[in-house]
Amino acid sequence: MSKPTSHQPIILPRDQHPISRKQIDEETLKVLYRLHRNGQLAYLVGGSVRDLLLGRKPKDFDIGTDATPAQVRRLFRNCFLVGKRFRLAHIRFAGNKLIEVATFRRHPREDELPEDHDEHFHFVQNVFGSPREDAFRRDFTINALFYNIADFSIVDHVGGLQDLREKKLRVIGDPLIRFSEDPVRMLRALEFAARLDFSLDETILAAIEAKKTLIATAAPARIREEIMELYRHKVAGPVLKQCRELGMLPHLLAGYPGTDESIALISKIDQRTASGVPIEEGFAIAALYLRLFMDSCPPSPDLHITEVLHKANEIIFPHCRYFSIAHGIRHQARELLVGCFRLARGRGTRGERRFLQHPLTPKSLELFKLWSEVRPELLPLVKEWQKAIQTSPAEKQETRRRPRRRRRKPSTRLPTH
Ligand code: ATP
Ligand code: MG
């Protein structure tokens, strides 16, 4: 098949691809049809087309159209526009379900960009364009395929169909330029290759080598979200390992270079997520820093817990400040680290009963158990603690006494009224 280098896309008619309307969410279809009936272009775009072609279940269905956000709002009663800078139409359905409709956009010309460089990222996303221009502003060829509701065809402006067949992740345009424009794309490249088991085009790795330090200039909130995506997609271990090997990790994580063992632990967490346990951010942060924390607090009966708390705080604080992690999540990460310290110290120390009844102790033990898979010498401790936790509630009941009622003294206070 020829590459779509001319100004014509490759169009794959319905009988030459496997996507059936049965696989598309019902409400998404309604929105696509209504746009189409009103004379607008209406495409399924982005990750959903990629996933359907790969026989995977899409996470969500995004719609692209040539209708402006205001036109979309006029067509749908249940529609509201969101985003001050990035105008999107959200169409709401029963059960709080949202369908996102975005107007096709294009890359602005150099002379159209605002003078303030910080404004570029948002501005770049906001200039309306043609479907072809919209395909070219996307990150990877496999993420730029369209499904056209008018004739149920696939529209490929960028060569994504061929790359899908060859299981190749390819950046649209020159990776050096596209990574400089938006450094988060480097992380996304590693993420998609790992998630889909695709090979990375060599130019991508070379461009990451060249541009890795730029990741530190990306908005921390976006990095934080992409890192959590890695965990949710069960590829945090391999991707962070690659970031470490490429020397990108310290630029990604506010100066923290990571350790081989923490990355091995994160791979264990990926397996746990794959078995159906949802990932929590506090757990993810604790895992990232567990090895460093354990080195700074070797298990000793003499170390006072306030000192241990202090160390845990010190270690995760730069991360939490950089990524503006909420207090509750930071607290959980810290408690998990302190819990692992207590578990590593072994049984029979002060405060053990209270520790066994602490609501976060089972989770600390879960983390510690995964850690013991990296450090097998800890396995016997895990067994001991598992037994202790299992028997702990029974002990609690046996020893719990009814609080004695104090006999009220006759009140000496004067009535207030
Ligand atoms: P997922 O299954 O993770 O949702 P996705 O491909 O839908 O995968 P999103 O992050 O939801 O990924 O983004 C939707 C689409 O927006 C992408 O498929 C891609 O076309 C485009 N996109 C997202 N982030 C970028 C970016 N940083 N630069 C260019 N295009 C992007
Ligand atoms: Mg998506």
pLDDT one-digit tens code per residue, 28-81:
999 999 999 999 999 999 999 999 999 999 999 999 999 999 999 999 999 999
Handedness of CA 316, 320, 325, 328 (dihedral sign): positive
Give the chain's domain count.
Answer: 2
Measured in Å, residue 308 CA sits from the centre of ligand 1 at 41
Give a yes or no: residue 219 inside a domain: no
* Mean local confidence (pLDDT), 217-235: 97
Nearest CA to ligand 1 atom 26: 139
Residue 127 pLDDT = 86
Residue 393 pLDDT = 60
Nearest CA to ligand 1 atom 8: 47
Sequence-distant (6+) residues with CB within 8 A of 66 are 40, 41, 103, 104, 130, 131
Handedness of CA 262, 264, 268, 270 (dihedral sign): positive
Residue among 126, 143, 214 to mutate when testing ligand 1 (max atoms within 8 A of CB) = 143
The C-alpha atoms of residue 48 and residue 55 are separated, in whole angstroms, by 10
Nearest CA to ligand 1 atom 14: 46
The lowest-confidence range among 20-24, 321-325, 407-411 is 407-411
Could you tell me whether strands 62-65 and 97-103 are parallel, antiparallel, or unpaired per DSSP bridges?
Answer: parallel
The lowest-confidence range among 102-111, 195-204, 306-315, 354-363 is 102-111
162 and 305 co-located in one domain: no
Active site residues: 60, 62, 139
Measured in Å, residue 47 CA sits from the centre of ligand 1 at 6
Residue among 63, 138, 190 to mutate when testing ligand 1 (max atoms within 8 A of CB) = 138
Taking the CA atoms of residue 339, residue 342, residue 348 and residue 354 in that order, the dihedral angle to the nearest 10 degrees is -30
Under the banding of pLDDT at 50, 70 and 90, the label for residue 123 is: low
Instruction: For residue 52, give its domain range.
Output: 7-166
pLDDT tens profile 361-389: 999 999 999 999 999 999 999 999 999 98
The C-alpha atoms of residue 376 and residue 50 are separated, in whole angstroms, by 41
- The answer on pLDDT for 401 being more than 70 is no
Which strands, in side-by-side order, build the sheet including 42-45? Answer: 10-12, 153-156, 146-148, 42-45, 62-65, 97-103, 88-93, 79-82
Measured in Å, residue 407 CA sits from the centre of ligand 1 at 67
27 and 152 co-located in one domain: yes
Give a yes or no: residue 226 inside a domain: no
Give a yes or no: residue 177 inside a domain: no
Handedness of CA 152, 153, 158, 164 (dihedral sign): positive
Residue 2 pLDDT = 41
Average pLDDT of the chain is: 91
- Output the CA–CA distances (angstroms, integers) from residue 140 to 12, 136, 145, in the order listed: 19, 9, 10
Give a yes or no: residue 248 inside a domain: no
* Mean local confidence (pLDDT), 142-149: 98
Residue type, 105: R
Give a yes or no: residue 28 inside a domain: yes
Q: Which ligand is nearest to the CA of 58?
A: 1
Give a yes or no: residue 405 inside a domain: no
Residue 395 pLDDT = 47
19 and 155 co-located in one domain: yes
- The answer on pLDDT for 406 being more than 70 is no
The lowest-confidence range among 78-92, 226-240, 337-351, 366-380 is 78-92
20 and 160 co-located in one domain: yes
Residue 410 pLDDT = 53
- Among 135, 166, 197, the domain boundary falls at 166
* Mean local confidence (pLDDT), 17-35: 97
Give a yes or no: residue 181 inside a domain: no
Give a yes or no: residue 29 inside a domain: yes
Q: What are phi and psi of 400, to 5 degrees?
A: -70, 130
Measured in Å, residue 266 CA sits from the centre of ligand 2 at 24
Under the banding of pLDDT at 50, 70 and 90, the label for residue 7 is: confident
Measured in Å, residue 139 CA sits from the centre of ligand 1 at 7
Nearest CA to ligand 1 atom 9: 47
CATH number assigned to the domain comprising residue 28: 3.30.460.10
Atom of ligand 1 nearest to the CA of 185: 27
Under the banding of pLDDT at 50, 70 and 90, the label for residue 122 is: low
Name every protein residue with a CB atom under 6 angstroms from any ligand 1 atom.
46-47, 59, 138-139, 143-144, 182, 184-185
